[in-house]
Chain A
Amino acid sequence: GESVGLHLPTLSVQEGDNSIINCAYSNSASDYFIWYKQESGKGPQFIIDIRSNMDKRQGQRVTVLLNKTVKHLSLQIAATQPGDSAVYFCAENTGGFKTIFGAGTRLFVKA
């Protein structure tokens, strides 16, 4: 079956450091990838997306890297802040309306 991501791991970083959150996907037919951030008690919120014809996409303090050869996706957060503490989900889509979410990574930012 399809699967994205890992069972919920935790990443702890010092405030001001860069964070890298990794995600593996298994469906080689997926061609659209999204990162979502979920803060405690809230719904997931879109951060950044990337299509399969790209290797890298940058946003404000965030960069997504896509390696289709090894089916790997990463989210880099520059100068991590306490407000970045949340669960981060990668998600994939093969076209149409079905998005498959990974298991999520919990990011703790230490002040």
Chain B
Amino acid sequence: DTAVSQTPKYLVTQMGNDKSIKCEQNLGHDTMYWYKQDSKKFLKIMFSYNNKELIINETVPNRFSPKSPDKAHLNLHINSLELGDSAVYFCASSPGLAGVLSDEQFFGPGTRLTVL
């Protein structure tokens, strides 16, 4: 009965490779997010989707491409991986009700990406 799940939990890969991280939520939420957490624990939003539509696209290299096939899934594809992409990536979801001043986000367990 996991609320927000991510796969894989760990990902070790070589520079230049392309990889994907998958995220699914079974909470019935309308909004999903991707965050990057660096080694200093700083958590920065990358993307946000509301009902499969991209609503937040922070200053992220275009090697990162999110895809939302339906509102329960938000996948992150990364092309040409670089050393600096090593981090923990968190998926999150929130009810995202229109007109509501934000709301609680539910985070997945994270995917630790190591680029060698």
Interface residues of A (CB under 8 A from B): 7-8, 31-32, 34, 38, 41-46, 49, 51, 87, 89, 93, 95-101, 103-104, 106
Residue of A nearest to B106 (CB): A46
B108 interfacial contact with A, CB 8 Å: yes
Give the interface SS of chain B, mostly helix, strand, loop or mixed. Answer: strand
For the complex formed, measure the closest distance between the CB of B21 and the CB atoms of chain A, giving whole angstroms: 13
How far, in whole Å, are A93 and B45 apart by their CA atoms in the complex?
A: 12
In the assembled complex, which residues on chain A have CB atoms less than 8 Å from the CB atom of B106? 46
Which residues of chain B have C-beta atoms less than 8 A from A104's C-beta? 41-43
B residues adjacent to A (C-beta < 8 A)? 4, 31, 33, 35, 40-45, 48, 50, 55-56, 90, 92, 94, 96, 101-102, 104-110
Taking the closest CB of chain B, its distance from the CB of A64, in whole angstroms, is 14
| B45 in complex: contacting residue of A51, A95, A99, A103, CB < 8 Å | A99
How distant is the Cα of A89 from the Cα of B45 in the complex, in angstroms? 14
Given contacts A97-B56, A98-B56, A104-B41, contact A43 B107 (CB under 8 A): yes
- A-B pair count, CB < 8 Å, reads 67
A89 touches B107 (CB 8 A): no
CB distance from A50 to the nearest CB of B (A): 12
Write out the residue numbers on chain A whose beta carbons fall within 8 Å of the beta carbon of B96. 97
Point out which of B96, B102, B106, B107 has the most chain A C-beta atoms below 10 A from its C-beta.
B102
A-B residue pairs in contact (CB < 8 Å), sample of 8 = A7-B40, A32-B101, A34-B102, A42-B110, A97-B50, A99-B45, A103-B40, A103-B41
The answer to whether A42 touches B109, judged by C-beta atoms less than 8 angstroms apart, is yes
Residue contact B44 to A44, C-beta cutoff 8 Å? no
- Are the CB atoms of A46 and B101 closer together than 8 Å? no
A45 to B109, CA, bound (A): 10
A31 to B4, CA, bound (A): 27
User: Quick check: A100 and B45 within 8 Å, CB to CB?
Assistant: yes
Beyond A97-B50, A97-B96, whether A34 also contacts B107 by CB under 8 A is: no
Measured between alpha carbons, how far is A49 from B107 in the docked complex, in Å?
Answer: 16
